[in-house]
Structure 1
């Protein structure tokens, strides 16, 4: 077998591989002999037809199969011989050969970038240090009160902060559209769950009031079939309710799963969860610094094939989150390209960190991460079984753990300076933090 490698622009390589006719003929003959043992050909008993007859009937099919197998075999052999690591599948093109039964083809593919990792010890990181104070717990309790308001029906027009029960139906050019109709739909006005223009059309509506208004869907609306279009909506308000904050009493504590111990027990649980979330937030900030500084210290080229695959994954994930299934509604790829390039580059850099530090996925951490994932399912045991049967999901879980281990190694190696901070500074205190404060 003869191999030549041409270096193309960037990370692309073109490898020309020539396989001698003797190797092709040997494999064709061997496979024809195997076929002849069971071949059913008219005029002969099964498996008794002469080899030249078998060749006449099955020769073309067998040769095509052999060539396909040989391309896979010889491509892998050539990669090992040339010490190349492809970043994606090759583009195969058959080439003419002067040998009657010879095989000659080119394989064009990208390789992983070769780079020397910058010394992680030279990275300078800042670790925020804070404690959860009594005032932080007080503020969190107030946020929890806002999460569980008491609702009282009123007869006035609705405004921001009110809970409104409505029917609505939208039409575009007089025709209904998917997702454009709902009955007894409950919203909190001003919460940002619906388009701002839709909420504006509702403001001031009283129970029993009907309204009509036009709404133009923005260009970045997730349902691509609706972007830029104008719909005419009809609405009917059934009920308007205003909120008041609940008392911090035993009933309030029980609403958050604290059945005994009253407010002191609730405060203790809230504090414990706030401290856990604070520790996670500190780690997240350190991780973000590690990522940013690794990228800045190690500018590398990234394989287009890996970026394309990452973009596709991100498009599909967003499509699913928006409740869509039609692949024709995939958001534009250019929206994802910068983030995809960053993800791919970070993956390559963290893999190199893991290789340099001889880090392997920690089995206990993988198990713990899996336990955490399946705990959110109705049947955790079944979810675990399905997860473990999915090789791609299992590999992704292991790589996630490996990434965290690599980041931890960089943090332990880098120059880290502690900086005093507050819980609010670190957590960007608000509803998102409060939602995690009671487990």
Structure 2
């Protein structure tokens, strides 16, 4: 059976996000899902002491997710204002490099899925569609780097290693050190440092902004003035 559907904007593959796609499916078997009762036994199976602990952890995870969403929205609004106050005409070469990198990653993603990227995507259309996003990203990088330089923000090697260790929690001892060594060799260690510098620059912008938090509602927004 074939059917046409539209994928959401948040679909993980940028090439397919917010696009109509034709799907072909073949039913091989039909199963009925039996959900277990939500009780203490289920909680213990999931590694919790009881149902109350499971519920509390679920609430914590949801609250953390919503906080991350709110922080991303605040960052976007702040950068909107920073860009408006500091117009930048980013070099075309940087925009093109960003697009090349995006296309390379998209092609590799398709290849991993068994899709031939040479014949499955209109790359010219992809490039045109993503050019505004690439320009925005490059503009933000230029402004962040300017803030870092003007304010003299620095990130020491130890801080980068601590960040790596944070993401390697629960892994065997020595894993973070080997990851850091590999990252130094392939250049991603300095890439992580740059990302941390830009986050610190954003934190500095936030510290000088007046951020108003409004009660959540159907039309609520977070407003800020830099």
- Normalising to structure 1: TM-score of the pair? 0.39
Residue 252 of structure 1 aligns with which residue? 42
CA gap 1:273/1:411 in 2 versus in 1, 3 angstroms = same
Work out the CA distance in 2 between the residues paired with 1:374 and 1:394: 15
Determine which of 182, 189, 204 is the counterpart of 1:386.
182
**Following TM superposition, where does structure 1 have runs of at least 4 consecutive aligned residues deviating by more than 6 angstroms?**
376-379
Work out the CA distance in 2 between the residues paired with 1:254 and 1:380: 30
User: What aligned pairs does 1:388-407 form with structure 2 within 5 A after superposition?
Assistant: 388-391=184-187, 393-407=188-202
Determine which of 11, 29, 38 is the counterpart of 1:239.
29
Determine which of 204, 207, 218 is the counterpart of 1:409.
204
2:149 pairs with 1:361? no
- Which protein has the bigger helix share? 2
CA gap 1:365/1:279 in 2 versus in 1, 3 angstroms = farther
2:88 pairs with 1:300? yes
* Deviation for aligned residue 1:257: 2.5
Work out the CA distance in 2 between the residues paired with 1:344 and 1:377: 35
Residue 335 of structure 1 aligns with which residue? 129
Which has the greater radius of gyration?
Answer: 1
Residue 271 of structure 1 aligns with which residue? 59
CA shift digits 1:330-361 (9 cap, x unpaired): 73322221111111111001111222222122
Aligned residues: 200
- Residue 62 of structure 2 aligns to a residue in which SS? helix
Gap regions ≥5 residues in structure 2: 6-14, 222-226
Cα RMSD after superposing both structures: 3.6
Residues 262-271 or 358-367, more deviating: 358-367
- Residue 420 of structure 1 aligns to a residue in which SS? coil
- Which protein has the bigger strand share? 1
- Residue 299 of structure 1 aligns to a residue in which SS? coil
* Deviation for aligned residue 1:322: 2.4
- Normalising to structure 2: TM-score of the pair? 0.71
* Deviation for aligned residue 1:376: 9.3
